[in-house]
Amino acid sequence: MIEQGQTLPAATLSELGADGMMNHDTKELFANKKVVLFAVPGAFTPTCSASHLPGFVALADKIKAKGVDMIACVSVNDAFVMKAWGEAQNAEEIRMLADGDASFTKALGLEMDTQSFGGVRSTRYAMIVDNGVVTLLNVEAPKQFEVSKAEAILESL
């Protein structure tokens, strides 16, 4: 599993924007920026939709006021699902990034296999990334939602 002080792995994340599908190289996406990156097991799932993403939507201005250039949500879903979920959650201030094949999640060592329920998904976590380097990593224990919520990250900034 990735640790604080390590550089994010090279991978490609997808995003569906106004100009169509964009594929982002993680090295370029996180270069020269302070980023709050949080991951959810799945778009439109209960805790993710009721608490995790809405917390970052509600606190986006306060988080950015602490010097954060970008807030991004990543999930092992496709870019179409991530865009629809972001729109449904009024997440205009959050970059909704898709890790469709879980390659980024696996490279981080933060995957979990939910078997027939949904297959390989991301563990719930939040991190602060400064110029590609992880400066804070908060990984949730199974079935918990404490250390990766927006309030915890805001307090850490």
Cα–Cα distance measured from residue 135 to residue 38, given in angstroms and rounded to the nearest whole number? 13
Catalytic residues: 48
90: domain CATH number is 3.40.30.10
Q: Which domain holds residue 19?
A: 12-156
pLDDT for the residue numbered 114 = 79
Q: Is the pLDDT of residue 105 over 80?
A: yes
With cut-offs at 50, 70 and 90, classify the pLDDT of residue 87.
very high
Torsion of CA 25, 4, 93, 29, to 10 degrees: -20
- Is residue 24 classed as helix, strand or coil in its secondary structure? strand
Number of domains in the chain: 1
For the segment 4-36, what is each residue's pLDDT rounded down to a tens digit? 999 999 999 999 998 999 999 999 999 999 999
Output the pTM of the full model: 0.95
Does some domain include residue 1? no
